[in-house]
Amino acid sequence: MFQLKEGVYWAGYIDWNLRNFHGYSTPSGSTYNSYLIVDEKPTLIDAVKHYGFEENLARIKEIIDPAKIRYIISNHTEMDHSGTIDKLLKYCPNAEVVCSPKGAEELKKHFKSNWKFKVVNTGDVLDIGKRKLSFLLMPMVHWPDSMATYSSEDKILFPNDAFGQHYASSERYADQVGLDTVWLEAAKYYANIVLPYGSQVLKVLEAAAKLDFDCIAPSHGLIWRRKQDIEKILSLYKRWASHETDNRVTIVYDTMWKSTEMMANKLFQGLDMANIPVKLMNLQVSQLADIVTEIMYSKFVFFGTPILNNRMLPTMASLLMYIKGLKTKNRYAFTFGSYGWATVGFKEFEESIKEAGFELLREGCYLNFVPEEEELNKLQDVIALVKGKIG
């Protein structure tokens, strides 16, 4: 049994084998964090994904008789957190389900049942005894229903998916494991789940700044408790939400017969020689979730594709569709690629990149069949442009 603070327990499920979360690669697995607060009216904050039910229930039973639970707070309807509430209610017949107005609508649609709901809004207080829990609605961080629960007594913020990471471990605190991995997973989580909602994140950060907490307990991964880690994750969220980037380049490409790869390598060499940090990512072997994490940090993204059937390669189209949804902003792009007899497909390629929110540094560089050395040298211009933008 794991106690965060007197009377506040972790009762979640560790998903060691998760490797793909609706398309997002999760090499470190994940956890679904469910928190039990033992007070006069025992309260559970979030449940778990369907296959974690038994573990969640067993952990609750180690602490109290589930029939004593009076409130199950559903901070977010998505099935990895609310998926077991229906089963749980059979063991908690006295429990009311506490959620946002949108949460109630969505839970009814998911479970087709009419539970005892207690609908709350920002600022509402739930008296559970010694503790008065309050709520902060966080629409679109990352669903319309999302909300955070705050315990002023314990100084804990339970912000659900915000500040989470997909990371399975026996440890519960971020400072107990390899921190670099945790920061990387936190960044990857933001890039893949939260990136489109920067303006809403900024509002949440502003509201959270008015609360006094020394612990952030998200619904996935590790809990933040050290002052320096809490300050860092809050400032990183602010930075990512503001679409601030580093002066670095991500080159992402696919290739059929190595011509586009030759161009990618030439660009890499030029940038590396100019001491500009650069990462080379081949779509054949890189996960989309990792590519967009790199893009989140990068002020410059170079996209390369050959032409197949007068179109960009489907791997590139898939990446661009994904990025479009993530609403990247304030970044520069450069396009390159190889073609056999017609360049018409590059127009659509460039349009897609502009639609995804990028500003093109200059016209693309497209070379016929196998590039000659002097043709590859034309790529040097763009390195000078990047240098100019970095200043």
User: Cis omega before residue 142 (within 30°)?
Assistant: yes
Q: Two tokens at 160? A: 């659900």
> Cβ of residue 132: shortest distance to another protein, in angstroms?
25
Q: Two tokens at 45? A: 């904050």
Please provide residue 23's backbone torsions phi and psi, each rounded to the nearest 5 degrees: 100, -15
Phi-psi category of 326—alpha, beta or left, where left has phi over 0 and alpha has psi -120 to 50? alpha
Exposed/middle/buried for residue 6 (C-beta within 10 Å: 0-12, 13-18, 19+):
exposed
Q: Does residue 311 touch another protein according to CB under 8 A?
A: no
The residue among 195 and 251 lying less far from another protein, judged by its C-beta, is 195
> Cβ of residue 140: shortest distance to another protein, in angstroms?
5
Q: Which residue matches tokens 């909602």? A: 197
The residue among 167 and 197 lying less far from another protein, judged by its C-beta, is 197
Give the per-residue contact string, 183-212, with another protein (x = CB under 8 A; - = no).
--------------x-xx------------
Q: Tell which one of 64, 119, 140, 207 touches another protein (CB under 8 A).
A: 140
For residues 102 and 145, is the Cβ–Cβ distance under 8 A? yes
The residue among 127 and 355 lying less far from another protein, judged by its C-beta, is 355
Q: Tell which one of 144, 256, 311, 322 touches another protein (CB under 8 A).
A: 144
Closest among 258, 259, 318, 249 to 283, alpha carbons compared: 318
CA pair distance 318, 128, nearest whole angstrom = 48
The residue among 143 and 332 lying less far from another protein, judged by its C-beta, is 143
For residues 260 and 316, is the Cβ–Cβ distance under 8 A? no
CA pair distance 45, 32, nearest whole angstrom = 11
Q: Two tokens at 189? A: 């989580």
> Cβ of residue 204: shortest distance to another protein, in angstroms?
12
Site for another protein in 87-106 (CB under 8 A): 102
Give the per-residue contact string, 16-55, with another protein (x = CB under 8 A; - = no).
----------------------------------------
For residues 162 and 148, is the Cβ–Cβ distance under 8 A? yes
> Cβ of residue 136: shortest distance to another protein, in angstroms?
13
The residue among 178 and 325 lying less far from another protein, judged by its C-beta, is 325
Question: Which of 138-146, 162-170, 187-195, 378-386 is the region at the interface with another protein (rule: CB under 8 A)?
Answer: 138-146
For residue 362, the one-letter residue type is R
Question: Which of 113-121, 136-144, 165-173, 174-182 is the region at the interface with another protein (rule: CB under 8 A)?
Answer: 136-144
For residues 1 and 63, is the Cβ–Cβ distance under 8 A? yes
Q: At what angle do helices 227-241 and 179-189 cross, to 10 degrees?
A: 30
Catalytic residues: 22, 76, 78, 80, 142, 161, 189, 220
The residue among 147 and 191 lying less far from another protein, judged by its C-beta, is 147
* Residues in touch with another protein (CB under 8 A): 102, 137, 139-140, 144, 197, 199-200
